[in-house]
Amino acid sequence: MRLPVFYFRILEVIALTNNILFVDHLEKYFFTYQGIVKAVDGISFFIKEGETFGLVGESGSGKSTVAYTVVGMYRPTKGKIIYKGDKDISQDSRERPLAIKKEIQIVYQDPGTSLNPSMTIKNILELPLKVHNIGKNNEDRINKVKELLEMVQLPVSYTYKYPSMIGGGEKQMVAIARALATNPSFVLLDEPTSALDVSVQAKLINMLIQFQKKFKLSYLFITHDLSLMRNVASRVAIMYLGKLCEIAPTSEFFKNPLHPYTQMLLSSIPVISDEEEALKPKKIISKGEIPSPVDIPPGCSFHFRCQKKMDICSCDDPIITETSEGHTVRCHLYTK
């Protein structure tokens, strides 16, 4: 069914109740010599208290820009970001209250560049404690640093090491410890496992799940790995060229993918058994390339690559349609 205007008013009411984050028609444009890059183009979603919301897309889809805008690195071009029902944080970090910065933290994709190479692990973990006035004195903060290292299963002897002296997985553990140092409520995870070995990925994911339960955290988990979302996220959103294609509860998402782009992504997931292969959508061969974000085609931005395109797809951008409770899709195939 086609979503009426009051549907988005309902979203706002929901956002004022039990959700930790509500993103309302968010836009983030970059103005370049080549033209306007619509990195994020009018997306809306909410994240419930204590859940993991997975945001998935290919490189260049705009998913990291969403994270950087939510955390305050970028100021939105348009739209609102509402935190805990009534706090409008639609500004960059320089204008946000310190209390909000304390509650919203981020773990970046590459710990090799997100950790200051000239600082020791102690200095890296101690900095947020000083900024947010955590700990009565220097001794308290040093004890807190040791506690954080033990929490992410790193030796206390790492206190005076530099990032260059430890491995990639260990650096990411330090980055997670830094994010948790301020006792946050909401953590953005920007592809935290993509630069790690498989064995380290599993350890890190298990650790994140344990921390979520222990500290009652909410996660925005950004990744290009759909198979990872099956075991981690409670709901999944698919992003393509700055817009959301589909949002659904994880179990519904993998059983009944609707958008042709979602089906294409799921059909390309590698599997190791015939049983797993049977659960995948029919094989859809990816064709064409992602258009330039400076020159996004009219109509549905996916129609150049879509095997199910219709005449309307090349001229009209589809609206969001709800096909079942909690399952929305932006495609003319489901617009009545």
Residues 6+ apart with CB under 8 A from 247: 45, 235, 236, 237, 238, 326, 327, 328
Residue 2 has pLDDT above 70, yes or no: no
Does the pLDDT value for residue 249 go beyond 60? yes
Say which residues have a Cβ less than 8 Å from residue 270's Cβ, sequence separation at least 6: 227
Q: How far is CA 44 from the centre of its chain?
A: 13
Task: Give the integer Cα–Cα distance in Å for 202 and 227.
Answer: 13
Return the amino acid letter for 236.
Answer: V
- The pLDDT mean for the chain works out to 88
**Mean predicted confidence (pLDDT) in 289-304:** 84
Query: Mean per-residue pLDDT for 242-270?
Result: 90
Q: What is the mean pLDDT of residues 250-262?
A: 92
Residue 245 has pLDDT above 90, yes or no: yes
For residue 13, pLDDT beyond 70: no
Indicate whether 281 pLDDT > 80: no
Which range of 196-205, 213-222, 305-314 scores highest in mean pLDDT? It is: 213-222
Contacts of 52 (CB under 8 A, 6+ apart): 212, 218, 219, 221, 232, 233, 234
Dump the DSSP string for 153-217.
Answer: T--GGGGG--GGGS-HHHHHHHHHHHHHTT--SEEEEESTTTTS-HHHHHHHHHHHHHHHHHHT-
15: pLDDT strictly greater than 70 = no
Question: Which domains, from first to last, does the chain contain?
Answer: 5-334 (3.40.50.300)
CB atoms within 10 A of CB 232: 21
> Is the CB of residue 170 less than 8 Å from the CB of residue 87?
no
Classify residue 157 as left (phi > 0), alpha (psi -120 to 50) or beta: alpha
In this predicted structure, the answer to whether residue 130 has a pLDDT above a threshold of 90 is yes
Residue 5 clears pLDDT 90, i.e. is over it = no
Mean pLDDT of 10-30: 78
pLDDT in tens, 75-104: 999 999 999 988 999 988 888 899 999 999
Q: Which two tokens stand for residue 162?
A: 């530099």
| Residue 54 confidence class, pLDDT cut points 50, 70, 90 | very high
Q: Is the pTM of this model over 0.85?
A: yes
Angle at 63 between CA 266 and CA 111, to 5 degrees: 105
Average pLDDT over residues 230-249: 95
Q: Is residue 200 very low, low, confident or very high in pLDDT (cuts 50, 70, 90)?
A: confident
Please state the rounded mean pLDDT for residues 143-152: 96
Instruction: Give me the mean pLDDT over the 258-285 stretch.
Output: 70
